[in-house]
Amino acid sequence: MKRQSQFSLPKSLALKQSVEEENLVRNEQLVLLSKGSSGYKWEVSEVRLSRKGQKVDLEKILAKLSDKEREFISILIEKDPLTGVYNRRKFDNDIELLISMSDRTTKGCALLIIDIDNFKDFNDKFGHFEGDQLLRSVTQNIEQSLRNYDKIHIYRYGGEEFVVIIPDTSANDALTIGERLRKNVKKACEVTISIGISHYKELAGNINELITNADKALYEAKRAGKDRVLLYEKTP
């Protein structure tokens, strides 16, 4: 199902021609132009497509555009159009870089996986429009609860699930941050959240362990009654 992006389109014949020639494709979304009563618009589709079954050379397309247009395309590629935070594709790229950077520090980095409790029930009761509004509201409250530096490491992981990477922190400090997020969202929004936390260096030795362990902690938080924050515990 197609969904219109929140970003406006720079009016440019060069950009229009590039998209029409190449069928611009990104990892999870197809970006295309459609002509309506108000002119050409960007729309975002969840369908993964490519030109004549071939992968599209994104650099070739970007090379034809102005700086402003390249910035616009980059936003579409990296940002979630509903909430404005980074998307899963950006997370997959950033986590490798942040893990590499953490190898140079003594503290390492923490990963928080955040899930909105009973979101399906909220959607069923109030409708998808209100559900979208809730996703934006929760995102804003998470951002407001983070340090400025950490705000650039929040991602929509999928559906009602978000991920926050906190560089240069300990597991216990991450737990404190997680509790602050939970309390602030509960106070400001109409729902609660559950959070699972893992830590690279203290609780995990690689990316796969870091994500898996945070997911396990989230599962336990849900199983224990929701509206709580749990730090992954290593088993002997």
Burial of residue 206 (CB within 10 Å: 0-12, 13-18, 19+) is exposed
Catalytic status, residue 160: yes
> What whole-number distance in Å separates Cα of residue 183 and Cα of residue 232?
20
DSSP-derived 3-state class of residue 89: helix
Q: Strand locations in 26-174, DSSP E?
A: 30-36, 39-45, 109-116, 154-158, 161-167
45: its two tokens: 């589709």
> What whole-number distance in Å separates Cα of residue 165 and Cα of residue 94?
9
Residue tagged active-site, from 20, 22, 69, 160: 160
89 contacts 162 by C-beta, under 8 angstroms: no
Question: Helix, strand, coil: what percent of the chain each, to 5?
Answer: 45, 25, 30
Q: Give the dihedral of Cα atoms 22, 27, 33, 37; nearest 10 deg.
A: 170
Site of tokens 């616009």? 72
222 contacts 231 by C-beta, under 8 angstroms: no
Catalytic residues: 160
